[in-house]
């Protein structure tokens, strides 16, 4: 602003009102620019947040799918493990029975060998 001369330029209320009004207009323009910037930032932030929400939703869907796959797979694995366990039990029982039969056969063989030896002694003497 100009320096006021004492004689020519006296500050009047009208003049003060005009200067103040110009100042407010300049402030309004500046605030308008700031508001536009905030609006742009707000829009960009909303857009980024929407993208993040979409990505999170996609990740949740993938995680849910993986959870279902794991549940199905673990169910199948447990079924297979159960079948294997039952088969091992059958084999164990068969092994025990086979061992008993083998002992019985060995005892019979020993008994037969003893009888054969007795017979051979009688015949050869």
Quick: pLDDT tens for 29-79: 999 999 999 999 999 999 999 999 999 999 999 999 999 999 888 888 999
Residue identified by tokens 């060998």 is 113
> Which two structure tokens, joined as six digits, stand for 35?
């508001």
Q: Provide CB contacts within 8 A for 1, sequence distance 6+.
A: 19
Q: What is the pLDDT of residue 7?
A: 45
Confidence of residue 121 (pLDDT cuts 50, 70, 90): confident
Q: Residue written as tokens 């051979």?
A: 120
Alpha carbon distance 125, 118 (integer Å)? 11
Rounded to whole angstroms, the Cα distance separating 30 from 79 reads 73
Q: Which has the minimum average pLDDT: 2-6, 39-43, 44-48, 117-121?
A: 2-6
Question: Which residues does 19 contact at the CB level (< 8 Å), separation at least 6?
Answer: 1
- The arithmetic mean of pLDDT across residues 95-103, rounded, is 93
Tell me how far apart the alpha carbons of residues 19 and 1 are, in angstroms, rounded to a whole number.
10
In this model, does residue 2 exceed pLDDT 70? no
Task: Note the pLDDT of residue 40.
Answer: 93
Q: What is the pTM (predicted TM-score) of this model?
A: 0.43
Contact 4, 11 (CB under 8 A): yes
């Amino acid at each position: 602003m100009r320096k006021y001369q004492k004689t020519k330029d006296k500050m009047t209320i009208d003049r003060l009102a005009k200067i103040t009004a110009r100042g407010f207009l300049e402030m309004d323009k500046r605030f308008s620019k700031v508001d536009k910037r905030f609006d742009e930032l707000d829009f960009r932030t909303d857009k980024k947040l929407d993208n993040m929400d979409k990505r999170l939703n996609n990740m949740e869907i993938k995680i849910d799918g993986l959870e279902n796959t794991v549940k199905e797979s673990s169910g199948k694995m447990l079924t297979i493990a159960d079948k294997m366990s039952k088969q091992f039990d059958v084999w164990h029982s068969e092994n025990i029975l086979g061992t008993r039969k083998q002992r019985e056969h060995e005892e019979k063989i020993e008994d037969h060998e003893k009888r054969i030896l007795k017979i051979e002694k009688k015949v050869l003497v």
